Amino acid sequence: MRLGFHCSVGKGLKNTIEEAVALKCETIQIFSRSPRAWYRREFDEKELAEFKKSLKEKDIYPLVVHMLYLPNLASCDKKLYKKSVDVLIDELKRCKMLNAQYLVIHPGRYSAGDFETGIKNIISAINFAFTKVKNKTMLLLENLAGGKTDIGWQFEELRRIIDNVKEKNRLGVCLDTCHLFAAGYEISKNSFDKTVNEFDTVVGLKYLKFLHLNDSKNILGSKIDRHTHIGEGEIGLEGFRAVVRHPKIKNLPGILETPRTNLSDDLKNIKKLGDLAK
């Protein structure tokens, strides 16, 4: 399993590489811009070229971009929906510039609207964005924790989105262990295989491309999305052992989105996973 961290881009892409190297990343996830602002700058051409060259030199792949947090592709508010679709299109274009292999998106939440409109909005957004941008970046739907009006926390919802997207070869799934567990899918020595089989039956393992490896502060089925350090949450080391050793999962790349404290604690998280896989 190739492992890495979500790394920051706030201090420039050169700094991102230094951070990734210090954290011993074999794969890396970034935001292409500030995750909490609609405004963005253009990439600096030279900086971009150096970033791509460094990733190659350091043998860091795949490069994954996580879409920022403001857009909501399920929004039933017309203004926010339009803005969100525009960001999706823009992010796909930026992924092309970055040579990113994957763009991870949260499907969305229907908020003040209703589920049916919400899920149809997600599907239309993806279909429309795919007609606007042609690139090799695969869009990955991340499973959510199931809070409030989340869409895409149940495998059936992911399946329905995939079923209705025309260019299925451009679409995949990223499973986040914390979200999975919070949504009520078991991750333990004796139960993880059942969860994998359920995913295979409902969605299909061929769509599963990537993992987010986070322990969960809250109990199974809590629907609360709170990440914690590997082995220190409710999933625990035995749960992660089942994940990193599962024959159908162990060769997927994975990113840690555990709370960042200091370098030595971060390295401990990645080492724990490496040790469990042995």
Tell me how far, at minimum, the Cβ of 151 lies from Zn ion, in Å: 14
How far is 7 from 5, CA to CA, in rounded Å? 6
Q: Is 225 in the site for Zn ion (CB under 5 A)?
A: no
Q: Which is nearer to Zn ion, 48 or 213 (CB)?
A: 213
Footprint on residues 94-153 left by Zn ion (CB under 5 A): 142
> Given 160, 227, 229, 241, which residue is catalytic?
227
Q: What angle do CA 277, 62, 163 make, to 5 degrees?
A: 95
Does residue 186 belong to the site contacting Zn ion (CB under 5 A)?
no
Q: Is 2 a catalytic residue?
A: no
Query: Which residue of 19, 176, 234, 266 would you call a contact of Zn ion, by CB under 5 A?
Result: 176
Among 212, 229, 241, 272, binds Zn ion (CB under 5 A): 212
Q: How far is the CB of 195 from Zn ion (least distance, A)?
A: 16
Q: Which of 6, 94, 160, 179 is catalytic?
A: 179
Active-site residue, 257 included: yes
Angstrom distance (rounded) from CA 113 to CA 105: 20
CB 269 within 8 A of CB 230: yes
Contact region with Zn ion (CB under 5 A), list: 51-59, 91-99, 153-161, 251-259: 251-259
Catalytic residues, by residue number, are 36, 66, 69, 106, 142, 176, 179, 212, 225, 227, 257
